[in-house]
Amino acid sequence: MISIRARRLLAALLAGAGLLALLADAATPDLAWADSLAMARRFWGAGPRGRLLNAPGIARDAPFAADALRAASAWPLEADAVLSVGPLVPPDVRERLRRRAAYVLAPRRVHLAPGQGAEVALDREPAGGPAR
């Protein structure tokens, strides 16, 4: 039987070896410092709109993101949104679009509504919509 002290020592050695492996991998440079700083300068110089459009989930669907950004800047914060999605759009894509719209339009709520065909449209919720 191994004593508790030996188990603790073995656990500490294994944890230390794992941390050293992670540290060694982190120490290898992916980019030169000058290139990394140039990328950071371009990213932060782009402004919030440019950073948002370059976000991985939003950049793939630029027209939808542009519509959502226009709505976010034009609509008051109290106005919720209705996302009309046609029946030809798969359910997982509908939910992904709703989440993207909710991310861009926050703190507004985004409700799904049935649309036509493969249509995707973002509109303001009518004044008589559900209460907040």
CA distance 69 to 104: 7
Q: Residue holding tokens 């926050």?
A: 106
10 Å CB burial of residue 20 (0-12, 13-18, 19+) is exposed
Cβ atoms < 10 Å from Cβ of 68: 24
CA distance 97 to 41: 30
pTM of the full structure: 0.57
Nearest CA-CA partner of 59 in 113, 27, 103:
103
pLDDT at 63: 82
pLDDT at 6: 93
Average pLDDT over residues 39-47: 75
Check pLDDT > 60 for residue 55: yes
Q: Spell out the domains of the chain, with CATH numbers in brackets.
A: 57-124 (3.30.2320)
pLDDT at 99: 87
Contact partners, residue 124, CB within 8 Å, separation at least 6: 71, 75, 79, 80, 81, 82
Q: Nearest 5°: phi and psi at 11?
A: -65, -40
Per-residue confidence at 129, pLDDT binned at 50, 70, 90?
low
pLDDT in tens, 68-110: 888 888 999 889 999 999 999 898 988 888 888 888 888 889 9
Q: Output 100 or 57, whichever has higher pLDDT.
A: 100
CA distance 85 to 121: 7
Amino acid type, 94 = R
Q: Residue holding tokens 């800047």?
A: 73
In a 3-state reduction of DSSP, which class is residue 94?
Answer: helix
pLDDT at 1: 77
